[in-house]
A and B are shown apart, each in its own frame.
Chain A
């Protein structure tokens, strides 16, 4: 049914429709509305049977999910930012053990400095944890991806994280078609584990594996992710037939087939990018966009074929590899190896800084006019003077103080030092 509701509420409803048996909840902005809504659904028994665990940390949340999943229950949790890091050890454990846990990551920046707003540094930091990573462009897609995620996770026995931009999507009211229970039941069968703690057939899960076999066990994880590259489009296709709309898949092209310039991005910023593409197309600019929906495993073939015809590729991302450059940028360059396109790594939106159509227009103009250097990391909307002043302070005084406080004082957000 099509309704106007908050992204978090819609996602909670979608999760509930997937009949999770154990939900592990620890609150962190901006995921709180999801776990709160799920709590209500369990208490009102709209979602039953389901055990809702109020755990004492994100580490406990993922650990409880591991136990529940290993005991044969469909398990779910949600987190963001610092919480994702706090459960990092458990993330690797879950993927290493091959447990099909589904988790929502309401993308949020990682501190220090502490910041509750949206960027992709959290999920990107765990891109090699062995979890499948899907990024939703809209709240509708977030709803749909969660439903697909349970199917995907249980098919491959790999955990899946569905990333949706914190606040930007989680707290946005939009029209969303929330499926019915019958629709989801028809799509998603009950969980049939490949391994389960069962007194009738005892198994040992989590034994130590030495040098003789570690490589082989880890390779299996890689092989499963490679298999996901085939399974994900299949599930998206089945979903499309069942629910009547296109959601998920590996990548999504937007007006890119004859584009000379293509902007690549993940998540909600694609909406703004599509608006900009339309405006520029009206002006005769041959520009398009490519959304990467599945970031891990990395759909290198699909990215390559989508970008193969472009002269310029602008990778716009909400995180970066400190001391190196772009993360998505590196991955895109890998896909374009041997092709002549110039790739521009652009970091934007860090810590929730809005990415405006105005900035994007200016960025594209700079690229088309060769004012930007490819192969150099560009920070969109960076206030260079602010940075320069802080660097100057550090050169002048040994005890220059915390960067954040100095910059905030400079910006006027913090009171001037009393004399």
Chain B
């Protein structure tokens, strides 16, 4: 089972990100589950969403305390909420930021991870560029596909198109593609 935890703030599409990921996995014939923990509707409040992907039916609905991958959609949460809780040294980490891990003050923290498993992505900028709106979730999913290979970019794109019709869907796919390409390129360079 592969467990993903996504942190962000209300309005950034955190819950949708988890849902899209689960749909992508489902389309590949796998078992998947996505769910949020949140409070009353409120933009800007911290939000956590979860996604499990497995080959056997997923029975438990408990929150993911030991994620295999962590996506942080909003870097302002890094020093506010314990986003890293339970992430083991084998884990994947993606942070939405234009800065480096050093600049975020996480240099020491990320030393424990394999370099090939951590990534910063300027997802909000990519979103602004392709969508015209600062909603980073699609781009982050593209990066996730590149970094982990748990789902393919094609599946992510199909899931996006299923949820968002027409122009909106295409632009989100473009953002995901851009982040994917960027991640692949960085991996090749490294």
Contact = CB atoms under 8 A, between A and B. Distances in A.
Contacts of B188: none
Given A29-B40, A168-B61, A173 B31 contact: no
A174 B59 contact: no
A169 B40 contact: no
Contacts of B32: 4, 173-175
A357 B18 contact: no
Given A172-B35, A173-B18, A354 B59 contact: no
Interface stretch (A192-200, A267-275, A372-380): A267-275
A167 to B, nearest CB: 7
A116 B40 contact: yes
Nearest to A32: B41
Contacts of A169: 61
A167 B35 contact: yes
B80 to A, nearest CB: 13
B18 A272 contact: no
A169 B40 CA distance: 17
B36 interface: yes
A271 B31 contact: no
Contact of B59 (A165, A175, A274, A356): A274
Interface residues of A, number: 27
A177 interface: no
Interface in A90-116: 116
A165 B35 CA distance: 13
A268 B62 CA distance: 9
B19 A173 contact: yes
B39 interface: yes
Contacts of B62: 272, 354-357
Contacts of A356: 62-63, 65
- Per DSSP, chain B at the interface is mixed
A172 B33 contact: yes
A173 B63 contact: no
Nearest to B23: A4
Contacts of B63: 354, 356
A275 B58 CA distance: 9
Contacts of B60: 271-272, 275, 357
B101 interface: no
Contacts of B26: 3-4, 175
A321 to B, nearest CB: 25
B23 to A, nearest CB: 5
B35 A171 contact: yes
A272 B61 contact: yes
B55 to A, nearest CB: 12
Q: Determine which residue in A165, A175, A269, A272 has the highest number of CB atoms from chain B within 10 A of its CB, and name it.
A: A175
Interface string A347-361: 000000011111000
Nearest to B65: A356
Interface string B46-81: 000000000000111111010000000000000000
B147 interface: no
Contacts of A172: 33-35, 61
A171 B27 CA distance: 20
What size tier do the contact residues of chain B reach? Answer: 20 to 34
A62 to B, nearest CB: 24
Interface string A236-249: 00000000000000
A3 B23 CA distance: 9
A260 interface: no
B49 to A, nearest CB: 10
B137 interface: no
B61 A173 contact: no
B22 interface: yes
A187 B26 CA distance: 29
B65 A4 contact: no
Nearest to A115: B39
Contacts of B22: 4, 173-174
A173 B34 contact: yes
A6 interface: yes
B22 to A, nearest CB: 5
Given A116-B40, A167-B35, A173 B59 contact: no
B33 A173 contact: yes
Interface in B12-38: 18-19, 22-23, 26-27, 31-37
A334 B60 CA distance: 29
B6 to A, nearest CB: 13
Nearest to B41: A29
Given A29-B40, A173-B34, A6 B19 contact: yes
Nearest to B27: A4
Contacts of B59: 138, 270-272, 274-275
29 contacts: A3-B26, A4-B23, A4-B26, A6-B19, A29-B40, A116-B40, A165-B61, A167-B35, A168-B35, A168-B61, A169-B61, A171-B35, A172-B33, A172-B35, A173-B18, A173-B22, A173-B32, A174-B58, A175-B31, A271-B58, A271-B60, A272-B59, A272-B60, A272-B62, A275-B59, A355-B62, A356-B62, A357-B60, A358-B65
- 7 shortest interchain CB distances as A-B pairs: A271-B59, A4-B26, A172-B35, A173-B34, A272-B60, A173-B22, A4-B23
Given A172-B34, A269-B61, 18 more contacts: A3-B26, A4-B22, A4-B23, A4-B27, A168-B61, A169-B61, A172-B33, A173-B18, A173-B34, A173-B35, A174-B32, A174-B33, A174-B58, A175-B31, A270-B59, A275-B60, A354-B62, A358-B65
